[in-house]
Amino acid sequence: MASSRLRVILLGLMYDFPLTGAQKTFLRSLGQRREPLIKVGKGGLTPAFFAELQKMLRAHELVKLRFLGADRDERAAFCMQIADEGRCVCVGAVGHTALFYRQHPEPENRRIALGSPS
């Protein structure tokens, strides 16, 4: 089981948007007060899920997900796949919830001010 998680981590397919530790901590603090916007159930990661994720990321930038009925290894694999295919960054995952961030492409529409990643 641990080897499958390691294999997923070694693939390194995640969307490359560099965030500092302080920025990730800030985003996680914002995520604590949020309710999960999307739930991942038995159907898994479908095209409909990714379409909804894209809408939520564009509207909110920070999206909290809840995994229903997935074990630890599945959740780790789901987080990697969501970050890769959803073109976002997983800023934290605890238990059955995960938090994903993607900065809005248009600066005037950004809801979250991160500051410079220095």
CATH number at residue 16: 3.30.110.60
The domain of 54 spans 2-109
The pLDDT of residue 117: 54
| 17 against 83, higher pLDDT | 83
Is 79 part of any domain? yes
Is 118 part of any domain? no
Closest C-alpha to 27, from 39, 37, 19: 19
Closest C-alpha to 56, from 29, 31, 86, 27: 86
69: left (phi over 0), alpha (psi -120 to 50) or beta: left
pLDDT for 5-41, tens place per residue? 433 343 444 456 789 999 999 999 999 999 999 999 8
Q: Determine the length of the chain.
A: 118
- 40-49, 61-70, 95-104: least confidently modelled range: 40-49
